[in-house]
Amino acid sequence: MATNDLPRAFSGIQPSGEVHLGNYLGALRNWVSTQETADSIYCIVDLHALSVPREPGEIGRNTLSLAADLLAIGIDPEKSTLFVQSNVREHTELAWHLQCVAAFGELRRMTQFKDKSEDQSFISTALFTYPALQAADIVLYDSDIVPVGDDQRQHIEFTRDIVERFNKRFGDTLVVPQHRIPTAGARIRDLQNPEKKMSKSAESPQGVIFLSDTPAQIEKKMKRAVTDNDGEVRFDPENKPGVSNLLTILATCTDADPAVLAEQYTQYGPLKTDTAAALIAVLEPIWERRAQLDDQTTAEILRVGADKARAVAEPVMERVRDAVQLHR
Ligand code: TRP
């Protein structure tokens, strides 16, 4: 628990590509609202991004641009801590200790590992142990809650399991984060392939809306969004994934209920036009703030954030060293 009695929230995002609507409506919007109810720490997890092959410099450049995106969507450095994972050395040190209590079989069951390693010619051991580093991120800040999208549920459950195991072996040392994934983020699907979730690894960029898209690009992508041919507007994600996805986007942008919204439409065309307009209205203030940010300001915010993060992480890591009792 953080010192000011608010629960501590921690979350992370990889600097591995442009922020898209799935990230924003699925998780990042919740980061912004969580700032009001928790002592929030947000981390750009650059070391996680290195678990698949990268060019030198690629992740560093993406980090600065992602930080600016996060500030633009409303992460407020006065209210929360925004920092870069590799700037706080304790993450990798704690990850090692957690790997030592994590079972091979447990990691092998992780669906994100299975998905990311499928069809890859090179699979790093870091991709395999990735969830232990994620667990370290979380417990290094005595975190109570972890606002993430639904796809991270298994990693949070794994975190709880290995942290409980660590505490059993070495004495009560680390805070076990809450089981409940506190925020119900919307699951946004690919506009061209609505069976799949929206993701930067999509086959075609036409199915993905990026935060940096122009209004004209958004209108075009919405207009071409795949629906179906029964012509009925109904919220039914199982049988009508394309139409339901549009309703989800519109509902999330207007704080409405998708099933109720569906009743107001009889045709796909107006639903698409309204969804594009609602989305553009939500993104406009973000674009404005993003345009005003320069790299120097962003870098300074990250530097201050790393100092604040270290001040929390160092004493927690010291507790772990005391608990493990290696020669000092
Ligand atoms: N694995 C997360 C994702 O793919 C990113 C992440 C890394 C994270 N460390 C974290 C999320 C700690 C929450 C808490 O989205």
User: In this predicted model, what pLDDT tens digit does every residue of 126-136 receive, in sequence order?
Assistant: 999 999 999 99
Residue 184, pLDDT score = 58
pLDDT digits (tens, 9 = 90+) for 145-190: 999 887 899 999 999 999 999 999 999 999 999 876 655 568 899 9
The DSSP secondary-structure symbol of 197 reads B
Q: Which amino acid is at 206?
A: Q
Query: What's the gap in Å between 223 CA and the centre of ligand 1?
Result: 33
Q: Is 138 in the pocket of ligand 1 (CB under 6 A)?
A: yes
CA atoms within 13 A on the CB side of 25: 26
For the cut 90, the answer to whether the pLDDT of residue 2 exceeds it is no
For the cut 60, the answer to whether the pLDDT of residue 67 exceeds it is yes
Residue 61, pLDDT score = 96
Q: What is the mean pLDDT of the chain?
A: 95
What does the CA dihedral 222, 227, 233, 239 come to, rounded to 10 degrees? -140
Residue 4, pLDDT score = 67
Confidence band of 304 (pLDDT split at 50, 70, 90): very high
The set of catalytic residues is: 116, 197, 200
Q: In sequence order, which residues have a C-beta less than 8 Å from that of residue 172 and are 6 or more positions away?
A: none
Residue 202, pLDDT score = 86
Query: What's the gap in Å between 134 CA and the centre of ligand 1?
Result: 6
**Torsion sign across C-alpha atoms 146, 37, 67, 287:** positive
Q: Is 137 in the pocket of ligand 1 (CB under 6 A)?
A: yes
Cα gap 119→321, rounded to integer Å = 39
Residue 290, pLDDT score = 97
Mean pLDDT of 264-289: 98
Residue 200, pLDDT score = 85
Mean pLDDT of 217-243: 96
Residue 324, pLDDT score = 98
Ligand 1 mutation target, pool 10, 16, 45, 175, most atoms within 8 A of CB: 45
Whole-angstrom CA distances from 197 to 39, 44, 245 are 30, 22, 10
Residue 286, pLDDT score = 98
Q: Is 11 in the pocket of ligand 1 (CB under 6 A)?
A: yes
Cα gap 173→170, rounded to integer Å = 7
- Write the residue with the smallest CA distance to atom 15 of ligand 1: 13
Query: What's the gap in Å between 253 CA and the centre of ligand 1?
Result: 24
Q: Is 148 in the pocket of ligand 1 (CB under 6 A)?
A: yes
Ligand 1 mutation target, pool 63, 92, 155, 181, most atoms within 8 A of CB: 155
Whole-angstrom CA distances from 215 to 125, 274, 313 are 41, 13, 42
- Write the residue with the smallest CA distance to atom 10 of ligand 1: 12
Residue 149, pLDDT score = 80
Residue 151, pLDDT score = 85
Q: Is 97 in the pocket of ligand 1 (CB under 6 A)?
A: no
Q: In sequence order, which residues have a C-beta less than 8 Å from that of residue 171 and are 6 or more positions away?
A: 323
CA atoms within 13 A on the CB side of 54: 18
Query: What's the gap in Å between 82 CA and the centre of ligand 1?
Result: 14
Convert 260-291 to b/e letters by CB count within 10 Å (16 or more is b).
Answer: ebbeebeebeebbebbbbbbbebbeebeeebe
For the cut 60, the answer to whether the pLDDT of residue 3 exceeds it is no
For the cut 70, the answer to whether the pLDDT of residue 196 exceeds it is yes
Q: Cβ distance 12 to 88 under 8 Å?
A: no
- Write the residue with the smallest CA distance to atom 6 of ligand 1: 12
Long-range interactions of 163-170: CB distance < 8 A, separation 24+: 163/98, 163/135, 163/139, 165/101, 166/97, 166/98, 166/101, 169/101, 170/320, 170/323, 170/324
Residue 203, pLDDT score = 86
CA–CA–CA angle 221, 225, 231 (5° rounding): 145
Q: Is 48 in the pocket of ligand 1 (CB under 6 A)?
A: yes
